[in-house]
Amino acid sequence: MSGTDKSKAGLALDGPIVILVEPQLGENIGMAARAMGNFALSSLRIVNPRDGWPNIAAQRAAAGADHILERVELFDTVEQAVADLDLLFATSARAHDQAKPVVGPEAAATEMAGHIATGGKAGILFGRERWGLTNEEVGLSNRIVTFPVNPGFASLNLAQAVLLIGYEWFKRATSGELPHTMPERSERASQHQIQAFFENLIRELDKVEFLRPAEKRDTMLVNLRNIFTRMDPTKQDMHTLHGVVMAIAEGRKGPAKGGVLDGEQATRLRALLAEHGQGGGVSDSGSTVRGLARLLRRNPTDAERLLWQSLTRDRRFAGQFKRQTPVGRHIPDFVSFPHRIAIELVNPGEGETIAADRAARRAWLEARDYRVIEMRAVDVERDLEAELLRLQGMIAEGPSAS
Ligand code: SAH
């Protein structure tokens, strides 16, 4: 059965004897036996079970507590069933108005454990489902056990009453030790390791001026440090946290950041995109075009990078051009909306498709009063200023008078 450690099935503590007085339902007897097994009680006595014995319903409900049912002792009277005991408890939800101590289940468990430990024999009576124990039966016992319950709904199911007693008794007998605990974690982090992580964290937090205002800094540091010391970090925890802090501090890397292609790779990517993206029908949807533009923006070729630097920093052009920005469904490399000028970079070794594509784009742009200037990437790389002068001249010329 799940949750059952067969190697420990034999665990049978020397516990009190459970006595069911005239139980009516086999199911309750079986469930009581099961509860007893759960808490390592093994001696079950039954006084006059209503449906006789053995009882198939009891066996079914016992769910494996057969060892308890097989050794059940049957009695005709309660007196006989308790004759050999020297400490007897009677469980009851009701006040029986007898001059007899009334205790809770914990106190009963403690007293029984002490009694058994000194060689005594303790038992506990449970009454019938219908009407519990008679006054006479309660009169036989030394103490009454009653559970702390809702006074307006005090009566428990018989087997559940057995379970509560078993639970309290077992807790007491085993000092509440749990059968399993959190698995061993990796080795605890050393003070040294925590310090190193923390210093690192502070350094990064200082970079972003997190620890402000200055007069609160010390308190913030103590609070912050306590978060980590309180959690008893393992060495692995510290590695992980360190990695997390550094990843955030250093920013996106690799593909997430984008600029992973060198100039030559970027050139090839642009060519590919031009052929498969802008050219064909694939780019029909605006979002695809924008997505490609974003990709291109993140992967500039060397020529693009050079030109873009000038277009942003050179006083003659600064603020007038945009990069990889769609004009309609086209994306010229650079475009100036105020001047209505598009700059096209011509990469070495371009195929016919790309050339045709550029021609189509040029026609489309010119039809909308854009002037298109083509710059060969090699020229940009070789003599940038010459290309810039060409551009400057075009701007000075002003819009075409078409
Ligand atoms: N109708 C019965 C209750 C029967 S419950 C009556 O009024 O007494 C079956 C048995 O479970 C009870 O005889 C008693 O042994 C136990 N039991 C049920 N509720 C209990 C409680 N609140 N405190 C102690 N024992 C209880």
Whether residue 284 has pLDDT greater than 60:
no
pLDDT score, position 305 = 87
- Residues written for the chain: 402
- Of the listed ranges 66-75, 96-105, 114-123, 329-338, the least confidently predicted one is 329-338
Structure-token pair, residue 103: 């205790």
How does pLDDT run across 234-281, given as a tens digit for each residue? 999 999 999 999 888 887 665 555 555 666 666 666 666 665 554 444
89 CB near ligand 1 (under 6 Å): no
93 CB near ligand 1 (under 6 Å): yes
Task: Output the DSSP codes for 177-199.
Answer: --S--PPP-SPBPPHHHHHHHHH
Choice between 252 and 386, residue whose per-residue pLDDT is larger: 386
Structure-token pair, residue 226: 């306590």
155 CB near ligand 1 (under 6 Å): yes
Average pLDDT estimate for 281-287? 52
Whether residue 207 has pLDDT greater than 90:
no
From ligand 1's centre to the CA of 331, what distance in Å?
84
pLDDT score, position 264 = 64
Whether residue 1 has pLDDT greater than 60:
no
Strands in 267-338 per DSSP E: 322-323, 334-336
For a ligand 1 pocket test, name from 22, 25, 150, 155 the mutation site with the most ligand atoms within 8 angstroms of its C-beta. 155
Strands in 9-141 per DSSP E: 17-21, 44-47, 73-75, 87-91, 102-103, 122-126
CA dist 300 and 308 (Å) reads: 9
The C-alpha R_g of the chain, in whole angstroms, comes to 43
For the question of whether the overall pTM of this predicted structure is more than 0.95, the answer is no
pLDDT score, position 209 = 87
Average pLDDT estimate for 202-213? 90
Residues in contact with 15: Cβ distance below 8 Å, sequence separation at least 6, in sequence order: 39, 40, 41, 42, 43, 112, 116, 169, 173
149 CB near ligand 1 (under 6 Å): yes
126 CB near ligand 1 (under 6 Å): yes
pLDDT score, position 283 = 46
Average pLDDT estimate for 334-363? 89
How does pLDDT run across 24-60, given as a tens digit for each residue? 999 999 999 999 999 999 999 999 999 999 999 999 9
